[in-house]
Amino acid sequence: MKIVIAGAGGRMGRTLVEAVVASGDLVLSGALDVAENPNVGRDAGELAGTAIGVKVSSDAGPVIAAADCLIDFTRPEGTLMHLEACAAAGVRAVVGTTGFDAAQRARIELLATRIPIVFAPNMAVGVNAVFKLAEVAAKILGDDFDVEIIEAHHRHKVDAPSGTALRLGEVVAGALGRNLEDCAVYGREGITGERNAKTIGIHAVRGGDIVGEHTVIFAGTGERVEVTVRSGSRMTYALGALRACRYLKDRKPGLYDMYDVLGLR
């Protein structure tokens, strides 16, 4: 499969370039970044340590049209523009971008009626295992345990809480028969009163070069259960994204996630 990577000049983009080049079965056919990025025009492989003859471009349309699958971990507005190009060219897409609002999510769902898209807040295999473990734990422990979610990321992350933390909240809320929009509490300050047993707390930490850490705490009377995943490298996300690309090879148009990719349904 021929792969094009959006945001190739960024930290995650460089990791994705490295992963595709090292994969052995995937080929990097294109690399994209915004016109003002100083890496436009440079060899995408050099950004990851090895020249490969593929230059970073800001002209998304033709670069996407020449590929089999797009991988996009950028920002909502740019991702949607790239997905429009994918839909026009019949190109598959793997989206790890977070921070979409409801209208943007609806647009992705509409585009997925034309092309196959894997859309997930976190592509790492271990993180998706934690989604499943948290779901199982919530079903076992039930309403007798209070739920708190804590996430930590590097100082450069622009959205909070992380898409992964929100997805964890959705998974746990669903297992408990709740709607996260109705029961989420984002941080606490001042005189908050006694904790409502039906709430799910979500808290964000930002600092240093933390790649990503997520913990779901189930706090009961006399015992506490914690499910934690710590990412030490962005390569975990990149390798999951490559699995998603391979999964899409023979798929019909539709909206898929990493549960589909990993067979966790």
Residue range 101-130: average pLDDT?
Answer: 96
pLDDT digits (tens, 9 = 90+) for 184-229: 999 999 999 999 999 999 999 999 999 999 999 999 999 999 999 9
Q: Is 157 a catalytic residue?
A: yes
Topology of the domain covering 125-231:
Dihydrodipicolinate Reductase; domain 2 (3.30.360)
Least confident window among 64-68, 70-74, 102-106, 231-235: 231-235
Which CATH superfamily hosts domain 2-119+234-262?
NAD(P)-binding Rossmann-like Domain (3.40.50.720)
Q: Is 153 a catalytic residue?
A: yes
244, two tokens: 């998603």
100, two tokens: 């979409």
Largest Cα–Cα separation, the chain: 61
At 48, is the pLDDT very low, low, confident or very high (cuts 50, 70, 90)?
confident
**Where exactly are the structural domains of the chain?**
2-119+234-262, 125-231
* Contacts with 37 (C-beta within 8 Å, 6 or more apart), sequence order: 9, 56, 58
Give the Å distances, CA to CA, from 54 to 51, 65, 84, 93, 247. 8, 15, 23, 20, 24
Question: What is the DSSP secondary-structure string of 139-205?
Answer: HHHGGGSEEEEEEEE-TT--SSS-HHHHHHHHHHHHHTT--HHHHEEE---S---SPPTT-EEEEEE
Q: Read off the amino acid at residue 237.
A: Y
Output the average pLDDT for the chain.
95
Residue range 157-166: average pLDDT?
Answer: 93
State the catalytic residue, choosing from 153, 156, 203, 214.
153
State the catalytic residue, choosing from 2, 55, 132, 157.
157
**pTM, full prediction:** 0.83
